[in-house]
């Protein structure tokens, strides 16, 4: 019976103190009887082996006593966990962006490290926030803390909560909030720190930046660029306001995106947007490589225009199929 | 295919496990005697599943337990509680109703 005692001890070691003695006694009594019955057909060694194997692994048995599930956060709490995690991460991203944008705005000689510091800090903070929120919910799950059921289930939902059509379903305000944030960041850098939008390379232990935009012709294109950004901003705002009627959101964003696309094409083809020295700065003395880079930028611009135009046309077709006047 | 069927059968049996166990505890039983009692009715349950289940049902107030010394061996006996009887009746009503519906649904295959 030595094996039986080992099995029982292997099981109860996972149990809390209050359960240990009780389970130990019960298992011992039950197993001994099961083995006695098995010994009617097998020798003792075989009977012990078969009985213990029929019980499953000691760890698995202990998990059954603890009613342990194979997950950290179960279905009961997962929805609210996911909701809180999203709120925390979004709030943190906004706070970090605002802090660093303010810091950058008031720094007279902006250096490249601030962008890397921002990204690294945001990444670290996100991981820490994820770990804390997950740990708190693991404790709630583990100790079966009773949360108010109203927090867990959306009982107030009625059929009115459904969107007016299927096409509204993929739209999520968060993605449009990021779109708006991106426009603000672009506005800030283009207007105040345009020299930082460039190609970075290290030379003699110092970062050298070759700006992508043409500073010499800045006065001719900055107005168009700001109008373009404003159109993108308005389009993002309209799409993000979910309370607006769907028709207004759809038509408004299509018109604004269309105007933005036209503005972008005008800018690219009528203005000298790109720094003429860019290719030479990146690949000095290598004319073939420099030519490839210039063509690469041109190809990139064309790809952006074609993609935006295609997406815009697809949206018009989808809107017309839903019987909406454009 | 066999894996899928095994998994589905396990889920099906898991659903009626508590009903089966509660129904056999109008008289006090210890773990192994309950396994044998269920086996007579061709209801197989693994010991490693039953013992923890009895504890959980006791914790929920559906069973009562007591230690007794029989033939120099301490045994923990379980019996259905008053609350357990009420729950059992509700489970039985629901089960029979479901059973009638399922028989009707599955009768005649595709109909």
**Number of domains comprising chain B:** 1
ipTM of the complex model: 0.81
CB contact under 8 A, B47 and A54: yes
Best residue in B36, B47, B50, B65 to probe A by mutation, most A CBs within 10 Å? B47
- 8 A C-beta contact, residue A19 and residue A67: no
Which residues on chain A place their C-beta less than 8 Å from a C-beta of chain B? 22, 25-27, 29-30, 32-34, 37, 54-56, 60-61, 64-65, 67
Tokens of A244: 């607006």
Residue B4: alpha-carbon gap to chain centroid: 23
Residue B23 confidence class, pLDDT cut points 50, 70, 90: very high
Q: Nearest CA to B88 among B12, B27, B23?
A: B23
Torsion of Cα atoms, B78 then B84 then B90 then B93, to 10°: 30
pLDDT of residue A154: 54
pLDDT at A139 > cutoff 90? no
pLDDT of residue B65: 93
The alpha carbon of residue A55 is apart from the nearest alpha carbon of chain B, in Å, by: 5
A65 CB neighbours in chain B (<8 A) are 51-52, 55
Among B32, B51, B76, select the one facing A33 at the smallest CB separation: B32
pLDDT at B99 > cutoff 90? yes
pLDDT of residue A326: 38
Task: Quick: pLDDT tens for A31-74.
Answer: 998 999 999 988 888 999 999 998 889 998 898 888 776 778 88
A25 CB neighbours in chain B (<8 A) are 67, 74, 76
The alpha carbon of residue A157 is apart from the nearest alpha carbon of chain B, in Å, by: 28
Residue A242 confidence class, pLDDT cut points 50, 70, 90: low
Q: Nearest CA to B20 among B32, B34, B31?
A: B34
DSSP state of B67: E
Establish if B97 belongs to a structural domain. Answer: yes
The residue with tokens 């799409």 is A239
| pTM score, whole prediction | 0.53
Among A8-17, A135-144, A148-157, name the most confident range. A8-17
Among A29, A54, A61, select the one facing B75 at the smallest CB separation: A29
Establish if B82 belongs to a structural domain. Answer: yes
d(CA A63, CA A59): 6
Mean of the pLDDT values across residues A284-304?
71
CB contact under 8 A, A64 and B52: yes
Please write down the HEC assignment for all residues of A85-139: HHHHHHHHHHHHHHHHHHHHHCCCCCCCHHHHHHHHHHHHHHHHHHHHHHHHHHH
Tell me the CA distances in angstroms from A16 to A5, A11, A65, A139, one per residue in order: 18, 11, 10, 16
DSSP state of B33: H
Establish if B7 belongs to a structural domain. Answer: yes
Establish if B111 belongs to a structural domain. Answer: no
* Cβ-Cβ contacts under 8 Å for A90 (sequence gap 6 or more): A174, A177
d(CA A26, CA B75): 7
Residue numbers of the domain that contains B9: 2-106
d(CA A96, CA A3): 59
d(CA A123, CA A121): 5
Judged by DSSP in three states, B79 sits in strand
Q: Indicate which CATH number applies to the domain containing B28.
A: 1.10.10.10
CB contact under 8 A, B76 and A64: no
pLDDT of residue B36: 92
Which residues on chain B place their C-beta less than 8 Å from a C-beta of chain A? 30-32, 46-49, 51-53, 55-56, 67, 73-76
CB contact under 8 A, A29 and B56: no
Among A33, A54, A65, select the one facing B52 at the smallest CB separation: A65
Among B47, B56, B74, select the one facing A25 at the smallest CB separation: B74
Establish if B56 belongs to a structural domain. Answer: yes
Tell me the CA distances in angstroms from A225 to A118, A186, A188, A213, A257, one per residue in order: 26, 10, 12, 11, 14
- 8 A C-beta contact, residue A163 and residue A246: yes
Task: Quick: pLDDT tens for A144-173.
Answer: 665 555 555 555 667 776 666 655 445 566
d(CA A151, CA A235): 34
């Amino acid at each position: 019976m030595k094996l039986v005692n080992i099995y029982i001890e292997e099981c109860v070691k996972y149990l809390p103190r209050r359960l240990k003695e009780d389970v130990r006694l019960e298992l011992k009594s039950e197993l001994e009887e099961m083995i006695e019955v098995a010994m009617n057909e097998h020798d003792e060694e075989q009977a012990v082996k078969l009985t213990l194997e029929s019980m499953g692994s000691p760890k698995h048995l202990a998990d059954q006593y603890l009613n342990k599930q194979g997950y950290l956060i179960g279905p009961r709490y997962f929805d609210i966990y996911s909701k809180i995690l999203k709120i925390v991460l979004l709030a943190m991203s906004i706070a970090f962006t605002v802090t660093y944008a303010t810091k950058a705005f008031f720094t007279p000689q902006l250096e490249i490290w601030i962008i890397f510091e921002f990204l690294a800090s945001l990444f670290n903070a996100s991981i820490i926030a994820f770990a804390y929120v997950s740990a708190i919910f693991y404790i709630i799950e583990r100790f079966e803390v009773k949360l108010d059921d109203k927090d867990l289930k959306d009982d107030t939902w009625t059929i009115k909560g459904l969107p007016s059509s299927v096409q509204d379903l993929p739209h999520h305000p968060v993605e449009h909030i990021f779109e708006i944030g991106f426009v603000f960041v672009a506005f800030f850098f283009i207007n105040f720190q345009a020299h930082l939008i460039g190609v970075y390379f290290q030379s003699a232990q110092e970062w050298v930046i070759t700006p992508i935009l043409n500073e010499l012709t800045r006065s001719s294109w900055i107005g168009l660029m700001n109008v373009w950004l404003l159109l993108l901003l308005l389009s993002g705002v309209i799409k993000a306001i979910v309370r607006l009627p769907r028709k207004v959101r759809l038509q408004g964003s299509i018109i604004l995106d269309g105007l933005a696309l036209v503005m972008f094409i005008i800018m690219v083809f009528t203005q000298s947007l790109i720094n003429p020295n860019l290719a030479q700065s990146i690949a000095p003395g290598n004319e073939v490589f420099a030519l490839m880079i210039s063509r690469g930028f041109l190809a990139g611009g064309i790809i952006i225009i074609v993609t935006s135009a295609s997406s815009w046309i697809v949206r018009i077709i989808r809107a017309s199929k839903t019987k909406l006047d454009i | 295919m066999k894996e899928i069927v095994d998994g589905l059968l396990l889920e099906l049996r898991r659903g009626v496990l508590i009903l089966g166990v509660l129904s056999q505890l109008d008289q006090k039983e210890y773990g192994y005697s309950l396994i044998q009692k269920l086996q007579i009715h061709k209801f197989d349950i693994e010991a490693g599943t039953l013992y923890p289940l009895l504890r959980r049902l006791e914790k929920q107030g559906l069973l009562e337990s007591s230690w007794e010394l029989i033939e120099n061996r301490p045994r923990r006996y379980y019996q259905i509680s008053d609350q357990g009887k009420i729950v059992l009746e509700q489970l039985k009503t629901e089960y029979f109703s479901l059973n009638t519906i399922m028989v009707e649904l599955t009768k005649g295959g595709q109909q």
